[in-house]
Amino acid sequence: MSEGLVLGGTNNLFEIETEDGSVRLCGIKGKILRDVEGYYNPLAPGDRVAYEGDPMDPERGLILSLVPRRNHFVRWNQKGKAPQMLAANLDLVAIVTTPDEPPFRPRFVDRALIQADAEHIEPLILVNKCDLECDADVLDRLSDWERLGYRTLQVSARTGEGLDKLSAILSGKLSAFVGQSGVGKSSLLNALDERLALRTAGLSEKFGRGTHTTTKGILFHLPARSGEECASIVDTPGVRRFVLHDIEAKDLALYFREMEPLIGSCSWGLSCSHLHEPGCKILEAVYAGVIHEERYESWQRIREELETGRLAD
């Protein structure tokens, strides 16, 4: 029995990187992966598994068990009505966004930040397509996230701007690129290592959105640049909607770094809904500009979504 790394896979067949660096295509033995029930997919890129090689075929094997994961990053799979794992055992999640094409979606970033914090994965707000014009609203949100202690980086897969800095951040880590379709996740990987030649595609002319070019997550090892360690990165399929699945509405403010210290200090104490009560410290902080209005709005919308189960924008 040996340990291997899940690079990718579909249905019940997974590409497992073995200790000598070769890849075996492995099925799962029986129904042994019980701790992953309730998920759309049993394994994700970044998972570690115990497997046995097929003695007759060096390219085949069988997965016997899952090594407990440190963390995992999920999206909601609408079709399967279950959370779907995008990647596991991450050191960093790069939340890829754009100033335009597709339009900047700060609420998407806020959701992904909550998920990263909840899973104790370091987030990086990665603004791709910085060759396009970045309007004042985008810069304002970026500086607010920085103020809250989140790291942001502007790059362009097209011009190469910022890629050296990105490469230094990714060095020695297992990271995942997540974001809406069309923000340039695969393009960034291609720009970091041209040998990958991943498929990329333009936005739909009619809707200005991505066309879901990448359909399954795959883990790649990038060669080490001089003075850096090798970086491992999971390219993931575009997320249309990012739904938090394991956080309760009443606990959501705990995941907003600027709200968390104020919880409990409202006049109504822990029963304050932070929506209309007099003496609400969170509302006061919004009025005083300590909490950005957009962040408060993100909180309101996500909270409503968690409470009602209905999706907001």
Ligand X SMILES: Nc1nc2c(ncn2[C@@H]2O[C@H](COP(=O)(O)OP(=O)(O)OP(=O)(O)O)[C@@H](O)[C@H]2O)c(=O)[nH]1
In the complex, which residues of this chain contact ligand X (CB under 6 A)? 128-129, 131-132, 156-158, 179, 181-187, 200-202, 210, 212-214, 237-238
Q: Is position 186 an interface residue for Mg ion (rule: CB under 5 A)?
A: yes
- Least CB distance from residue 158 to ligand X, whole Å? 4
Q: Are strands 2-10 and 48-54 parallel, antiparallel or unpaired?
A: antiparallel
Residue 272 binding partner per list Mg ion, ligand X, Zn ion, none, with a CB distance cut-off of 5 to 8 Å that depends on partner kind: Zn ion
Classify residue 20 by burial, with Cβ atoms within 10 Å: 0-12, 13-18, 19+. Answer: exposed
CA distance 99 to 213: 20
Q: What residue type is assigned to position 153 of the chain?
A: L
Comparing CB distances to ligand X, the nearer of 22 and 159 is 159
Stretch near Mg ion under the rule CB under 5 A, chosen from 161-169, 209-217, 245-253, 270-278: 209-217
Q: Look-up: residue for tokens 């609420």? A: 107
- Least CB distance from residue 84 to Zn ion, whole Å? 34
Q: Is position 236 an interface residue for Mg ion (rule: CB under 5 A)?
A: no
- Least CB distance from residue 97 to ligand X, whole Å? 10
Residue 128 binding partner per list ligand X, Zn ion, Mg ion, none, with a CB distance cut-off of 5 to 8 Å that depends on partner kind: ligand X
CA distance 263 to 68: 33
Comparing CB distances to Zn ion, the nearer of 134 and 263 is 263
Comparing CB distances to Zn ion, the nearer of 129 and 274 is 274
- Least CB distance from residue 182 to ligand X, whole Å? 5
For residue 293, what is the enclosing H or E element?
helix 293-308
Comparing CB distances to Zn ion, the nearer of 68 and 289 is 289
CA distance 207 to 196: 29
CA distance 256 to 283: 14
Comparing CB distances to Zn ion, the nearer of 92 and 302 is 302
- Least CB distance from residue 82 to Mg ion, whole Å? 22
Stretch near Mg ion under the rule CB under 5 A, chosen from 11-19, 119-127, 179-187, 246-254: 179-187
Residues in touch with Zn ion (CB under 5 A): 266, 272, 274, 280, 282
Q: Which one-letter DSSP state was computed for residue 166?
A: H
- Least CB distance from residue 92 to Mg ion, whole Å? 18
Alpha carbon 143 to chain centroid, angstroms: 21
Structural contact between residues 88 and 171, judged by C-beta atoms closer than 8 angstroms: no
Q: Is position 187 an interface residue for Mg ion (rule: CB under 5 A)?
A: no
Rg of the chain's alpha carbons, rounded to an integer? 21
Structural contact between residues 138 and 99, judged by C-beta atoms closer than 8 angstroms: yes
Q: Which one-letter DSSP state was computed for residue 183?
A: S
Comparing CB distances to Zn ion, the nearer of 142 and 282 is 282
Comparing CB distances to Mg ion, the nearer of 28 and 157 is 157
Structural contact between residues 125 and 142, judged by C-beta atoms closer than 8 angstroms: yes
Q: Residues interacting with Mg ion, by CB under 5 A? A: 185-186, 213-214
